[in-house]
């Protein structure tokens, strides 16, 4: 672009994920539980130690189970 604005570069940077985040998301997606129409994952001490997460970092993965069919996540 002539004005220096490159939306593709911005979008690529906004959507970039690192391998560790993908591994954590994969663990959550592989180990969640279902109760009725509620999907949930317990980010317990073992999980946080396994991925070296503190509670704030673990909370960043709250939406991993969002928008899966007609289920709700918790």
Tokens 């949930």 correspond to: 40
Q: Does residue 48 contact residue 58 with C-beta atoms inside 8 Å?
A: yes
Bigger pLDDT: 9 vs 62? 62
Cα(26)–Cα(28) distance, rounded to whole angstroms?
A: 5
Domains of the chain: 7-73 (3.10.310.30)
Confidence grade of residue 3 (pLDDT, cut at 50, 70, 90): confident
pLDDT digits (tens, 9 = 90+) for 31-55: 999 999 999 999 999 999 999 999 9
SS3 69: coil
Query: pTM (2 decimals)?
Result: 0.79
Predicted pLDDT at 39 = 95
Report whether pLDDT(1) > 70. no
């Amino acid at each position: 672009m002539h004005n220096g604005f490159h939306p593709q570069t911005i979008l690529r940077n906004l959507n970039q994920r690192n391998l560790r985040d993908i591994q954590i998301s994969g663990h959550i997606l592989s180990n969640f539980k279902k109760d009725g129409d509620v999907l949930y994952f317990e980010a317990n001490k073992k999980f946080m130690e396994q991925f070296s997460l503190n509670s704030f970092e673990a909370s960043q993965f709250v939406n991993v189970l969002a928008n899966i069919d007609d289920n709700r996540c918790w």
